[in-house]
Amino acid sequence: KHKFWETQPVGQFKDVGDSSLPEGPIEPPTPLSEVKQEPYNLPSQYEWTTCDMDSEETCTEVYNLLKNNYVEDDENMFRFNYSKEFLRWALRPPGYYTSWHIGVRAKASKKLVAFITGVPARIRVLDEVVKMAEINFLCVHKKLRSKRLAPVMIKEVTRRVHLENIWQAAYTAGVVLPTPITTCQYWHRSLNPKKLIDVGFSRLGARMTMSRTIKLYKLPDSPATPGFRKMELCDVPAVTRLLRNYLGQFAVAPDFDENDVEHWLLPTEDVVDSYLVESPEIHEITDFCSFYTLPSSILGNQTYSTLKAAYSYYNVSTKTPLLQLMNDALIVAKQKDFDVFNALDVMQNETFLKELKFGPGDGQLHYYLYNYRLRKALKSSELGLVLL
Ligand code: MYA
Ligand code: JJ1
């Protein structure tokens, strides 16, 4: 059934539940001299290109490929529309490799027709910190689908990751592959219910009118928690301590240091927003919340072309109840004109989703590790990792 994935060092469906298999790497690293030195072969009309995201021109080509060909919902009503600024942020974290930003061009026209990326990350799995690649933005132009280009791209990114002496990877997908370490549910909190209903993102509930719906989702004009403010550069050490301590409780989570926190969590306009609670008396940072900006194109609506969505990222509560902290996150997201606030049922998110009027979506997100076996699948609440 999975002609490609059956050949890869990933947990296979036939092994699910087999607790005699060892936990950890599925195959050992090979000497670097034994890693294939030349790129994999593409069909003869295509060529590899390394995408320099510093180049405005290349970044625009990547942006347009994804804008027109990346992930859609199951009814093809919405398509992710990552901004250029977001792509630069996502692809240039500390220690990134330009060689892991891989494109495919048509030789004749030089048009960019496919893309896949990796970025380096340290991810803790149970009690071991593992150097990994986070693989994302796999995309093949709609006109070139089902030609088995994706397996070649995955093998090529794998080869380039191996050349940096990294042997594991983490990735997510909306499709089921061999085999998820966990499956997460998307939840959605309406901020602009009228627009969401008008564009078909949500529906009027039974026995609900538009005005009752608008009232149901109304939020205060400003956050309620004393000392709630935007994160700043000087907060990086305190936020790193807070986050490291919090993420320690999950089975799989990033091992963030201060450089990572500065990159991934310091606010960047229209890319990532982070807020914290500084106790007014002792100036101690006790709580933290964050979300990233990922709009979707609305396909074929006369009135609206984009849905502005915020996605819950990392949140830590030690003093302010998580429910109150996330309510404040919803309030600032509404103030910033987002239409919807999305979250997965990871970490402790289940403790606020229903109470804060999130509803389950029709999408799921499956999480995977490459060349690392977990004896048992995780509950989504045991996962401390959010990929973009
Ligand atoms: S997930 C986002 C994926 N992108 C999209 O959904 C955008 C819209 N779709 C497309 O662009 C295409 O449909 C794609 C497939 C490119 C997805 N992950 O070329 P094909 C397998 C992994 O004929 P196409 C993200 O970015 C499929 O099961 N494999 O198909 C994370 C089949 O294999 P098998 C996938 O539709 C990506 C084969 O590909 C996915 O033209 C992580 C068919 O190939 C998928 N999302 O193109 C990648 N979809 O026969 C893995 C289909 O065995 C990274 N397939 O079933 C692994 C770690 C690598 C690094 C390791 C380092 C050590
Ligand atoms: O956004 C998603 N679904 C929406 C829109 C559905 C439109 C018809 N298919 C949804 N809306 C209901 C909201 C409602 C608000 C009031 C309360 C009740 C709920 O369910 C879904 C997630 O649910 N998104 C997708 O399907 C996009 C793809 C998700 C998989 C992504 C995979 C890839 C990334 C790898 O990096």
Can you tell me the distance from the alpha carbon of 2 to that of 24, in angstroms, rounded to the nearest whole number? Answer: 23
Side by side, the strands of the sheet bearing 296-298 are: 78-80, 296-298, 306-307
Residue 224 lies in a domain: yes
Query: Is the same domain home to 149 and 275?
Result: no
Answer yes or no: 388 catalytic: yes
Atom of ligand 1 nearest to the CA of 144: 41
One digit per residue, the tens of pLDDT, for the chain of length 388 reads: 999 999 999 999 999 989 899 999 999 999 999 999 999 999 999 999 999 999 999 999 999 999 999 999 999 999 999 999 999 999 999 999 999 999 999 999 999 999 999 999 999 999 999 999 999 999 999 999 999 999 999 999 999 999 999 999 999 999 999 999 999 999 999 999 999 999 999 999 999 999 999 999 999 999 999 999 999 999 999 999 999 999 999 999 999 999 999 999 999 999 999 999 999 889 999 999 999 999 999 998 999 999 999 999 999 999 999 999 999 999 999 999 999 999 999 999 999 999 999 999 999 999 999 999 999 999 999 999 999 9
Residue 32 lies in a domain: yes
Cα 112 to averaged position of ligand 1 atoms, centre (Å): 17
Decide which of 176, 209, 225 is a domain's last residue: 176
- Contact 151 CB / ligand 1 (< 6 Å): yes
- Minimum-distance ligand to the CA of 184? 2
Classify residue 198 by burial, with Cβ atoms within 10 Å: 0-12, 13-18, 19+. middle
Residue 388 lies in a domain: no
Residue 267: CATH number of its domain: 3.40.630.170
Which token pair is 44?
Answer: 């003869």
Rounded to 5 degrees, what are φ and ψ at 300? Answer: 70, 45
Q: What is the DSSP string of 233-283?
A: GGGHHHHHHHHHHHHTTSSEEE---HHHHHHHHS-BTTTEEEEEEE-TTT-
H or E segment at 245? Answer: helix 236-247
Query: Is the same domain home to 296 and 354?
Result: yes
Query: Is the same domain home to 193 and 230?
Result: yes
Query: Is the same domain home to 218 and 77?
Result: no
- Minimum-distance ligand to the CA of 171? 1
Can you tell me the distance from the alpha carbon of 123 to that of 110, in angstroms, rounded to the nearest whole number? Answer: 37
Cα 121 to averaged position of ligand 2 atoms, centre (Å): 27
Residue 79: CATH number of its domain: 3.40.630.30
Can you tell me the distance from the alpha carbon of 160 to that of 200, in angstroms, rounded to the nearest whole number? Answer: 42
Can you tell me the distance from the alpha carbon of 212 to that of 162, in angstroms, rounded to the nearest whole number? Answer: 56
Distance of CA 356 to the CA centre of its chain: 22
Query: Is the same domain home to 150 and 210?
Result: no
CA distances from 278 to 2, 10, 222, 236, 266 (A): 51, 44, 17, 13, 16
Query: Is the same domain home to 73 and 131?
Result: yes
Query: Is the same domain home to 105 and 171?
Result: yes
Query: Is the same domain home to 197 and 142?
Result: no
CB 235 within 8 A of CB 292: no
Check 149, 219, 243, 388 and give the catalytic one: 388
Count structural domains, the chain: 2
- Contact 152 CB / ligand 1 (< 6 Å): no
Distance of CA 300 to the CA centre of its chain: 26
Cα 259 to averaged position of ligand 1 atoms, centre (Å): 31
Do strands 182-190 and 285-293 pair parallel, antiparallel, or not at all (unpaired)?
unpaired
Query: Is the same domain home to 171 and 208?
Result: no
Decide which of 145, 176, 207 is a domain's last residue: 176
Residue 279 lies in a domain: yes
Which token pair is 369?
Answer: 């590790």
Query: Is the same domain home to 15 and 128?
Result: yes
* ipTM of the complex model: 0.99
> Which residues approach ligand 2 with their CB closer than 6 A?
71, 73-75, 77, 136, 172-174, 186, 188, 190, 201-202, 359, 361-363, 365, 387
Residue 132 lies in a domain: yes
Q: Which domain holds residue 75?
A: 5-176
Residue 387 lies in a domain: no
Can you tell me the distance from the alpha carbon of 229 to that of 288, in angstroms, rounded to the nearest whole number? Answer: 10
Query: Is the same domain home to 172 and 187?
Result: no
Cα 72 to averaged position of ligand 2 atoms, centre (Å): 9
CB 130 within 8 A of CB 169: no
Decide which of 150, 176, 202 is a domain's last residue: 176
Query: Is the same domain home to 138 and 27?
Result: yes
